[in-house]
Amino acid sequence: MVSTLVSAILAWLHILSAIGWMGSAMFLAMVLGPSTRELPPPSRRDLVLRLFPRFIRYVTIFATLTLVFGVLLGMGLVSDGSEVLSPSTTWGLRIIIGASLAFVAYALALAVGLRSARGILRLLEKTPQAQQEVQAFEMAKLTRRLRLTAATVTLLLSVSLIFMVAASRL
């Protein structure tokens, strides 16, 4: 049996890490992506080389912590012998849908988004003289993939949030 205090702490840690994850995805989709398109290539290169390593680290940490704290919170509810996470209850169904969307967003963010960001970093770390037409094509492809992934993850997390809030309030 999990105490109310432990459940409350897990809930707050889950919420705070989700804010970090969603904020990171929104920052990339709404600020960084559009802003870098307007910069000249040397400035864009410097900005991305400085921001992406930190961005990759924080997205990975926040996304992982969100899921870990959410799973621990759910396990605490189930260990109490409650049927709350059952799909036969409205509350349980909302939580299951929200959690499923979050897991899909996590897989997409790590498998596609962060892989694209690392690919962009690898291309930019090469000397500017070494960048050829093939690298420019690859850079455009990776950048487009990263922007699309960030927008999709933001959408999935927003819908997941709607289900989680609906579960907690209704």
Residue range 94-152, pLDDT digits in tens: 989 999 999 999 999 999 999 999 999 988 887 665 556 557 788 889 989 999 999 99
Question: Nearest CA to 52 among 32, 37, 31?
Answer: 32
pTM, 2 dp: 0.86
Q: Which domain holds residue 70?
A: 4-169
Q: What is the pLDDT of residue 129?
A: 58
Q: Is 124 helix (H, G, I), strand (E, B) or coil?
A: helix
Report the domain count for the chain: 1
- Give the separation between CA 167 and CA 90, rounded to whole angstroms: 8
